[in-house]
Homo-oligomer: A and B are copies of this chain.
């Protein structure tokens, strides 16, 4: 199991995640959007899969990749813990802090 942090640290992999946001997709389709080669893409997908950020679905000779929304919470939770605040209110918290500085 690969670290979810290492997985999202790479620019290309975040692009892939953003691309998958709209719909599940095969590697062939993805390569049309990127500059890198099929094996490079495959390598990135393996890392994302191993980090449990995407799931794979075999359909005939195609493989569809889709986002695993649940996993993103692991990262969000880190920030929750880090700030000791419920994320529900994190944004407001920061914004209020900024507003205080301003006055």
Contacts and interface: CB of A to CB of B under 8 A. Distances in A.
Interface of A: 3, 5-6, 8-11, 14, 17-18, 21, 67, 69-70, 72-73, 75-76, 78-79, 81-84, 87-88, 90-91, 93-94, 97-98
Oligomer: number of copies:
2
Contact of A73 (B11, B69, B84, B90): B90
A21 B75 contact: no
B18 A81 contact: yes
A81 B15 CA distance: 12
A17 B82 contact: yes
A91 B75 CA distance: 12
B82 A21 contact: yes
Contact of A90 (B8, B76, B93, B94): B76
Interface centre among A78, A79, A83 (most CB of B within 10 A): A79
